[in-house]
Amino acid sequence: MNALLPLPRSLRRPAEPGMPIAEVETPTLLVDLPALDRNIALLASYVQNRAPGVRLRPHAKTHKSPDVARRQIAAGAIGVCCQTVGEAEAMAAAGVADILLSNQIADAGKARRLAAIAGQSRLSVCVDDPSQVALLSDAAMAAGVTIHVLVELDVGGARCGVLSADAAVALARLIVGSPGLVFDGLQAYHGRAQHLRKPSERQAAIAEATRLAAAAAGQIRDAGIACPTITGAGTGTFAFEAASALYTELQCGSYVFMDADYARNERDDGADVPHFEQALTILTTVISTPLPDRAVCDAGLKAMSLDSGPPSLQLYPGLDYAGASDEHSKLTMHSPFALQVGQKIHLVPGHCDPTVAMHDWIIVHDGSTVTAVWPVARGW
Ligand code: PLP
Ligand code: MN
């Protein structure tokens, strides 16, 4: 192979500190660092002031970035959650000392990878089936490490998780009796509650989740098993878990970046719940203006996720989002607003997590200039 051939963009840094944003090739994932740091500080101080005993364990699936995790931990987080073993490996390699895989694994290869992480960091993982307990125990024993285990309870999310307190007790007993494993408590995350639009709906959902988790924890303790950790919560509901007097950990993820879908949640203006800023944008270039009212830019379905709705054009009154295809977005221009070919604009993605996972690099900036380039730990 000709060594002079340029590397594919995924392997080379697409920008360097000092470069003006206007010169960055698109489509590109941008993070406004001052806004990111304000979001991190805002949640950390809210938790410290309003729920002093509650630990903050932000979800790293949002950013897949050891650089962001380091900033969250410097602000007081005890560690991170991960959703994939690949994320957990990246965080452990970067020195994150306490990692929760807030998810189930179901094959021996991944259990071995988790055991390797447990040799470096405190590692906990969720289960909702006896077969997962056996896989984890075998892997922990083979590697000579301890894996901490939480039983996931379905508290209304209707995804993973055991459906009864009795089932939670049975799994807790199994974990306690399994060599190499330590039972930590309950994973009680209510995913479906996060984007309920009204604060009163979110509050009611978390009240029910708290009731279910308290009942299961009570039954586990009645069986003579300590149940120190009750973990859950996301960006839409954390104020309710923080105030529950039950949850010991909060797993907010999206708050670092935010997105257009979270912006559609109604806020409770009477409460002092933090208002997070949009720190994440997709930079895109107008590549065509075929009609006076139509602009086409170069960020499409492969540059941002539209599963939770289209990107927001809040920064550009006079511009409407008109649809995406693989490598294009169509924008409708309302006169006198007119984009020119070559102009670059910022889209606020509909859903931050899957959007970040489409990119190899986060281009960090201060509003006008690139200040850092951070890798994204893609893959599973
Ligand atoms: N915890 C778990 C288990 C999740 O799956 C998620 C996201 O879906 C979160 C926490 C974080 O939620 P959010 O990004 O809404 O803050
Ligand atoms: Mn999400």
Tokens of 303: 């540059």
pLDDT in tens, 210-245: 999 999 999 999 999 999 999 999 999 999 999 999
**Cβ–Cβ contacts within 10 Å for residue 131, how many?**
10
- Please tell me the residue having the least CA distance from ligand 1 atom 5: 191
Query: Is the predicted pLDDT of residue 9 greater than 70, yes or no?
Result: no
∠ at Cα 112 (106, 118), nearest 5°? 110
Decide: residue 362, CB within 10 A, 0-12 exposed, 13-18 middle, 19+ buried.
Answer: buried
Please indicate whether residue 254, judged by its CB atom, sits closer than 6 Å to ligand 1. yes
Q: What is the pLDDT at residue 315?
A: 84
Residue 269's identity, in one-letter code, is D
For residue 352 and ligand 1, the question of a CB distance below 6 A is answered with no
Give the burial class of 284: count Cβ atoms within 10 A of its Cβ; 0-12 exposed, 13-18 middle, 19 or more buried. buried
Compute the C-alpha angle 45/50/51, nearest 5°: 100
Answer yes or no: is the C-beta of 375 below 6 A from any ligand 1 atom: no
User: d(Cα 243, Cα 236) in Å, to the nearest integer?
Assistant: 14
Cβ–ligand 1 distance for 76 under 6 Å, the answer no
> So what's the pLDDT on residue 60?
98
Model confidence at 271, pLDDT cuts 50, 70, 90, reads confident
pTM of the model: 0.96
- At 25, which helix (H) or strand (E)? none
Contact 100, 231 (CB under 8 A): yes
Half-sphere exposure of 147 (CA within 13 A, CB side): 31
Q: Which atom of ligand 1 is nearest to the CA of 103?
A: 3
What percentage of the chain reaches a pLDDT higher than 70? Answer: 97
Please tell me the distance from the alpha carbon of residue 338 to that of residue 89, in angstroms, as a whole number: 46
Residue 81: what pLDDT?
98
ipTM value greater than 0.85 = yes
Q: Has residue 140 got a pLDDT over 90?
A: yes
State mean pLDDT over 184-204. Answer: 98
pLDDT single digits (tens) 338-364: 999 999 999 999 999 999 999 999 999
Q: Which long-range contacts (CB under 8 A, 24 or more apart) does 295-298 make?
A: 295/319, 295/330, 295/331, 295/333, 295/339, 296/328, 296/329, 296/330, 296/331, 297/328, 297/329, 297/331, 297/345, 298/26, 298/27, 298/327, 298/328
Atom 10 of ligand 1, residue of closest alpha carbon = 251
